[in-house]
Structure 1
């Protein structure tokens, strides 16, 4: 049988393929940049084909390397899912998870039945916080937050970085006679969450007048923004991650390639005293498996 590369090297490749940079992969794996680069070179040498190529100052995966990385991601996801399912045979107890309402309704709730199928003896309760980065509820065993990750004394794991881009109903695109260039948004109704900041940043990046971004309707909750967008009421500055299913089903479309990185990300936060709870361990592994599955 062909010798299987080391798990650390495969994880280094999978992380590099997802993030696109060595330093982000190193940060995720808690390794130095030189260690990640060394693992990638060793993997390339053992495989016998080129994984990476230099394009200017950037290092990118070759088409062959990208295809292999996708296979690796699927394999690691299968292993993680198998471990979670077998661990779940003995997971029991009560588990309360806090999750931001937008992520809960658009991404987590459509999948939550799978957790019950895998862990039937865990009594799960899902609650939403007042603030997206709130971890103050003493009744919660595991928090999913949207913020900067600055929570001293907590066990914190980055789940998903976020980029925002205009999203709208395909029916609205037809109604506006197409959205072929960013300037076409000047004739559209804009939908905002809490303030105008995201749209102003996107207008600045695409060289549109920032003052024009201060129009439209402001909502207090992201669910309201997406509901209005699906109902053809305007164009939302949306998160492709939690809108993945709506985009897949054709309820929302992304008319432009331009996106803006969010300074905030989704994190999994565990109070240290809850980290050994069997139900928490089960949900943590299951959540990672769901993220890996979507990434493939």
Structure 2
């Protein structure tokens, strides 16, 4: 039986629009008109029989189905790009040091490094955590992924992906809340913060939800630890998508509100300028760059 694949041109247009959160930015990247990109996205939505985006004042926001399609498409395109360098990278060997936030590393980077390692068994990786209080690591690594609002001065890089956020809780906390209004649940339970209150305040402002004035708050400099505390029922966290997609699908986390809204920061892929010597870091950087489409911020 012939394999039935999604239409590739609409998939390419959708992937670019999802990555940028913008039809116009996708049109610029693909050298198409905005109307053409919109038409391609609509064709893909027709193929899947559901909406892949919600249009908001802040831009395009992926639906849950859209998030799944985007993650799959992004990985497939990056793997295809890796095939293009296979002949020159087949015999690569060496170690690449990558720094990334712990949650990003666990739920986004490691699954992709699995695929890279299969194609390049001679390349080893040294992985370090970048947290809010360790910016000096950026000077000590070949490649870094950071959570912020731009490429730091003295580095070469680009926006790797936009992110959305939504309040999440453990299944046990959701069960104890019962049929309570989500805003009531938010007011009556501990809030878990990453770094400070800015991201929670950003989400509440976009959602039109009053920020709970709750003195019982926990603050983490490590978002992975914050999510672990949330899964253990210690409070309500602001989860970043697509990083927690798997935890939601497995039922280890539950969405408290329906809205996944644009985050105030993005993930950036960077390296020092000039780049680290040797071919291996350059090949790995180019491969990761494929997930961003190679587009400057």
TM-score (norm 2): 0.72
Report the CA distance shift for 1:157/1:62 in structure 2 as closer, same or farther (over 3 A): same
Question: What is the 5 A alignment of 1:131-280?
Answer: 131=132, 134=135, 137-178=138-179, 180-212=181-213, 215-274=216-275, 277-280=278-281
Partner of 1:36: 32
Q: Alpha-carbon deviations, 1:242-280, whole Å to 9, x = none?
A: 212212221112131223422211111022332674222
Report the CA distance shift for 1:209/1:94 in structure 2 as closer, same or farther (over 3 A): closer
Q: Is the 8 A contact 2:100 2:130 kept in 1?
A: yes
Q: Is the 8 A contact 2:19 2:162 kept in 1?
A: no
SS in 1 for 2:158: strand
CA distance in 2, matches of 1:152, 1:110: 30
CA distance in 1, matches of 2:11, 2:187: 46
Partner of 2:93: 92
210-219 or 229-238: bigger deviation: 210-219
Structure whose alpha-carbon radius of gyration is higher? 1
242-251 or 61-70: bigger deviation: 61-70
Partner of 1:51: 39
Report the CA distance shift for 1:10/1:117 in structure 2 as closer, same or farther (over 3 A): closer
Q: Alpha-carbon deviations, 1:169-223, whole Å to 9, x = none?
A: 1222112114553333222222112222222333344444435255422223212
Report the CA distance shift for 1:120/1:190 in structure 2 as closer, same or farther (over 3 A): same
SS in 2 for 1:51: helix
Structure 1: unaligned runs, 5 residues or longer:
1-6, 45-49, 53-60
In the alignment of these two chains, the number of paired residues is 265
Structure 2: unaligned runs, 5 residues or longer:
1-7, 53-68
Report the CA distance shift for 1:14/1:259 in structure 2 as closer, same or farther (over 3 A): closer
Q: CA RMSD in A?
A: 3.7
Residue 134 (structure 1) shift:
3.1
Q: Is the 8 A contact 2:159 2:267 kept in 1?
A: yes
Q: Is the 8 A contact 1:92 1:279 kept in 2?
A: yes
Q: Is the 8 A contact 1:176 1:188 kept in 2?
A: no
Residue 102 (structure 1) shift:
2.5
Residue 98 (structure 1) shift:
1.2
269-278 or 166-175: bigger deviation: 269-278
TM-score (norm 1): 0.72
